[in-house]
């Protein structure tokens, strides 16, 4: 299922030859692929210069079919996860400092590299992960972006006990479980009127859930913003204590409106999170194997990719959408 026109808002079925892995690459048969809000940003034209045509999808669970020359990490038959970060140069100052997520030459799965809205995918083996055995293919898929980038955002929020979460979807429901496991209290904020999301947040374990224009019953130590809504930044700042941290976790967000300096004063911090590093993935997947996390998913056949995208766009989903090629559909 391929994006053929930038900003078209939908993908189209295309038959192509099975790709051949090059040097250092693996060919995987796709078993499942999560549907991420970043996929929406790609197909809706909110991210610039995607490769066209491109198969979106960067929460890929697959079985290695073939390996290219000089692949030593994986062998045919092994299950692997393929995330958003598909390649970095390894040579720039960012890469050498352990910040490959900021590499200016980086390439991304489902954006510049064909992703998992397909029956087969090719990936650089250095950027793939072994997956915890205690998750089946469908429940493992959301770990690879909602989990990985959500976890990076969570770590950037510091060690405070009272954590606000704005936008309660795939990433929020995973990170809430991590926070609860580590002894924190989660206060969930959803769009006004979205009672389905309120119930979902409470079911997952949030101490309190309310609308995003309401105050929590306590001041927050930090807040994660998963909804791509710029006005939530000053709103979240207004709910945090002095020294509090507000983390913008998405790759795209509407404009942040002007706000009074008093909201930022007293050493409050606003920061963004960009992409992920391989060390983020390794750390998070070890943690996911230990907790374990309970993924709320809805599985769609690959041919229904546009239905899944529309359900995500409209806010109908609770949790994560996962695509399954016809040969692996449950």
User: 40 lies in a domain?
Assistant: yes
pLDDT at residue 329 tops 70: no
CA distance 302 to 308: 9
**By the 8 A CB rule, do 54 and 115 touch?**
yes
Reported as a pLDDT band with limits 50, 70 and 90, residue 326 is confident
CA distance 175 to 180: 9
pLDDT at position 136, please? 97
Sequence-separated (6 or more) residues with CB below 8 Å from residue 314:
none
Domain closes at, from 232, 247, 272: 272
User: 109 lies in a domain?
Assistant: yes
Does 263 lie in the same domain as 153? Answer: yes
Does 167 lie in the same domain as 52? Answer: no
Does 165 lie in the same domain as 257? Answer: yes
Does 186 lie in the same domain as 132? Answer: no
Q: Which domain holds residue 192?
A: 148-272
Does 112 lie in the same domain as 187? Answer: no
Instruction: Name the burial class of residue 195, with classes exposed (0-12), middle (13-18) and buried (19+) by CB atoms within 10 angstroms of its CB.
Output: exposed
Indicate which CATH number applies to the domain containing 191.
3.40.50.720
* Mean of pLDDT values over 6-22: 95
User: 10 lies in a domain?
Assistant: no
User: 6 lies in a domain?
Assistant: no
User: 7 lies in a domain?
Assistant: no
User: 9 lies in a domain?
Assistant: no
Does 129 lie in the same domain as 84? Answer: yes
Does 175 lie in the same domain as 214? Answer: yes
pLDDT at position 89, please? 98
User: 227 lies in a domain?
Assistant: yes
pLDDT at position 241, please? 98
Does 172 lie in the same domain as 186? Answer: yes
Q: Considering the chain, what percentage of its residues have pLDDT values greater than 70? A: 99
Query: How many distinct structural domains can be found in the chain?
Result: 2
Domain closes at, from 229, 248, 272: 272
What would the pLDDT profile of 269-308 be if each residue is shown by its tens digit? Answer: 999 999 999 999 999 999 999 999 999 999 999 999 999 9
Does 280 lie in the same domain as 135? Answer: yes
The DSSP-derived string for 214-243 is S--SS-EEEEEE-S--TTHHHHHHTTEEEE
Reported as a pLDDT band with limits 50, 70 and 90, residue 109 is very high
Does 313 lie in the same domain as 263? Answer: no
CA distance 318 to 201: 9
pLDDT at position 327, please? 57
Does 173 lie in the same domain as 244? Answer: yes
What would the pLDDT profile of 155-200 be if each residue is shown by its tens digit? Answer: 999 999 999 999 999 999 999 999 999 999 999 999 999 999 999 9
By C-alpha distance, which of 93, 170, 90 is closest to 127?
Answer: 90
Domain closes at, from 272, 287, 302: 272
User: 46 lies in a domain?
Assistant: yes
Does 244 lie in the same domain as 160? Answer: yes
């Amino acid at each position: 299922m391929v994006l053929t026109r930038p900003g078209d808002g939908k993908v189209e079925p295309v038959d192509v030859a099975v790709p051949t892995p090059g040097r250092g690459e693996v060919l995987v048969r796709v078993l499942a692929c999560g549907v991420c809000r970043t996929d929406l940003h790609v197909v809706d034209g909110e991210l610039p210069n995607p490769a066209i045509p491109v198969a979106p999808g960067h929460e890929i669970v697959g079985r290695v079919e073939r390996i290219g020359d000089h692949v030593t990490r994986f062998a045919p038959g092994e299950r692997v996860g393929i995330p958003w970060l598909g390649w970095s140069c390894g040579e720039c100052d960012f890469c050498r400092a352990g910040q490959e997520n900021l590499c200016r030459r980086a390439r991304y799965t489902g954006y510049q590299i064909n992703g998992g809205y397909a029956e087969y995918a090719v990936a650089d083996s250095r950027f793939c992960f072994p997956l915890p055995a205690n998750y089946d293919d469908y429940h493992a898929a959301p770990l690879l972006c909602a989990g990985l980038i959500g976890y990076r955002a969570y770590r950037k929020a510091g060690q405070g006990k009272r954590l606000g979460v704005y936008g309660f979807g795939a990433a929020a429901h995973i990170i809430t479980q991590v926070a609860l496991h580590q002894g924190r209290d989660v206060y969930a904020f959803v769009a006004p009127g979205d009672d389905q999301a309120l119930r979902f947040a409470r079911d997952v374990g949030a101490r309190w859930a309310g609308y995003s224009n309401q105050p929590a019953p306590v001041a927050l130590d930090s807040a994660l913003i998963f909804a791509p809504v710029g006005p939530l930044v000053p709103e979240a700042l207004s709910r945090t204590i002095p020294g509090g941290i507000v983390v913008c976790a998405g790759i795209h967000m509407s404009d942040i409106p002007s706000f009074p300096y008093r909201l930022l004063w007293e050493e409050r911090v606003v920061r963004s999170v960009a992409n992920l590093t391989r060390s983020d993935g390794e750390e998070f997947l070890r943690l996911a194997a230990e907790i374990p996390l309970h993924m709320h998913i809805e599985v769609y056949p690959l041919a229904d990719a546009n239905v899944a995208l529309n359900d995500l766009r409209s806010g109908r989903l609770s949790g994560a959408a996962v695509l399954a090629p016809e040969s692996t559909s449950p």
